[in-house]
């Protein structure tokens, strides 16, 4: 029986426990097929598996407990799950809001089986107060690459291509019940490159957010239990103690933006990440960067953050 202490009140604390899923057994053999399934390029799953194992080793070497959910599936689920090409992108499946695990809901039916399989596992791993499998019954779509837990008070959510405003409206009471007092909602362009919030910005420590420059033009709807208002994104982020590094130096969205905080001083980044970004802010220059080759995995349209679901972080 897997025992997990769900505890995530930020994006930057020391990572203790994280969920992953090994890549599918199926290749995406050519560019035409990749286009059909929404991937950037063809993928050799043997190479993808080697990349994934390297990423796991890097996290384990940093002291992180890594749980591969595919190893815990029932036999009747495993045969199908092994063939799901997007299953590696576990971030979307759920989000830990403080001590509460709230399930997501697939924005496309191609991904729906992964949500069913993982949520059935979560139901076994967590008690009813921590995780309720019924929580997403009324959702239209909520993929958690669109969610950032900024601090103990505030959650930042995108209602773009894969997550709906109706779902946020349905879940906001549960988020407030989990201990948060404010939700910032942004609505980004509905394109493949801007699919999720974490393909446009990322927390790079306790007081810094990296974001694509175009985002400074977007308002954020700020909602609490009593009222709501609109502010510009920079005002919203700075009010919560973050500087913003606006950048136009994103050459490859998932490699440059989609990194993972291992602790407040250490980031797990792709070997393809544009290193110029890390020289553009004094708070970044002191960061320790652990680089891993996830090139084959990134061809599927997601990066390191997409492939990791933190269950436990220190505060």
* pLDDT tens-digit map of 171-203: 999 999 999 999 999 999 988 888 899 999 999
- Confidence grade of residue 35 (pLDDT, cut at 50, 70, 90): very high
Quote the pLDDT of residue 218. Answer: 97
| Architecture of the domain made up of 15-313 | 5-stranded Propeller (3.75)
Q: Which two tokens stand for residue 53?
A: 């194992």
Mean pLDDT to the nearest integer, 273-285: 86
* Residue among 90, 57, 60, 96 at smallest CA distance from 72: 90
**197 contacts: CB under 8 Å, gap ≥ 6:** 145, 146, 147, 148, 156, 157, 158, 160, 186, 188
Q: What percent of the chain has pLDDT over 90?
A: 87
b/e per residue 64-79 (b: at least 16 CB within 10 A):
bebbebbebbeeebee
| Residue of higher predicted confidence among 220 and 277 | 220
Radius of gyration of the chain (CA): 18
What distance in Å separates the CA atoms of residue 281 and residue 244, rounded to the nearest whole number? Answer: 9
Identify the three-state secondary structure at position 220: strand
Mean pLDDT to the nearest integer, 204-228: 95
- Confidence grade of residue 1 (pLDDT, cut at 50, 70, 90): low
Q: Would you say residue 238 has pLDDT above 90?
A: yes
Domain-wise residue ranges, the chain = 15-313
- Alpha helices, DSSP H only, in the chain? 31-37, 45-61, 75-81, 112-125, 165-177, 233-239, 253-257, 282-285, 295-298
Summarize pLDDT for 134-159 with one digit per residue, the tens. Answer: 888 877 899 999 999 999 999 999 99
65-68 and 15-20 strand pairing: parallel
């Amino acid at each position: 029986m897997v025992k997990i202490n769900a505890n995530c009140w930020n994006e930057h604390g020391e990572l203790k426990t994280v969920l992953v899923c090994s890549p599918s057994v199926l290749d995406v053999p050519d560019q035409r097929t990749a286009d059909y399934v929404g991937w950037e390029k063809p993928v050799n799953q043997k190479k993808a598996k080697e990349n994934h194992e390297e990423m796991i080793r890097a996290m384990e070497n940093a002291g992180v407990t890594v749980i591969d959910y595919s190893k815990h599936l029932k036999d009747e689920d495993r045969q199908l799950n092994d063939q799901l090409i997007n299953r590696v992108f576990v971030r979307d499946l759920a989000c830990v809001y403080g001590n509460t695990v709230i399930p997501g809901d697939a924005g496309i039916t191609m991904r729906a089986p992964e949500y069913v399989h993982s949520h059935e596992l979560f139901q076994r791993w967590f008690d009813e107060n921590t995780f309720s499998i019924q929580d997403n019954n009324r959702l239209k779509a909520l993929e958690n690459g669109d969610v950032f837990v900024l601090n103990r008070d505030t959650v930042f959510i995108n209602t773009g291509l894969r997550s709906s405003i109706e779902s946020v409206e349905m879940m906001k009471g549960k988020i407030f019940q989990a201990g948060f007092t404010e939700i910032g909602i942004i609505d980004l362009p509905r394109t493949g490159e801007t699919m999720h919030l974490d393909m446009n910005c990322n927390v790079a420590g306790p007081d810094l957010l990296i974001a694509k420059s175009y985002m400074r033009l977007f308002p954020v709807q700020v909602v609490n239990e009593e009222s709501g208002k609109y502010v510009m994104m920079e005002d919203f982020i700075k009010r919560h103690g973050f500087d913003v590094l606006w950048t136009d130096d994103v050459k490859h969205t998932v490699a440059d933006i989609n990194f993972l905080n291992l602790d407040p001083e250490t980031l797990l980044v792709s070997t393809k990440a544009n290193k110029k970004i890390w020289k553009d802010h004094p708070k970044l220059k002191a960061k320790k960067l652990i680089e891993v080759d996830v090139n084959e995995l990134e061809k599927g349209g997601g990066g390191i953050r997409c492939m990791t679901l933190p269950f436990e972080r220190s505060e």
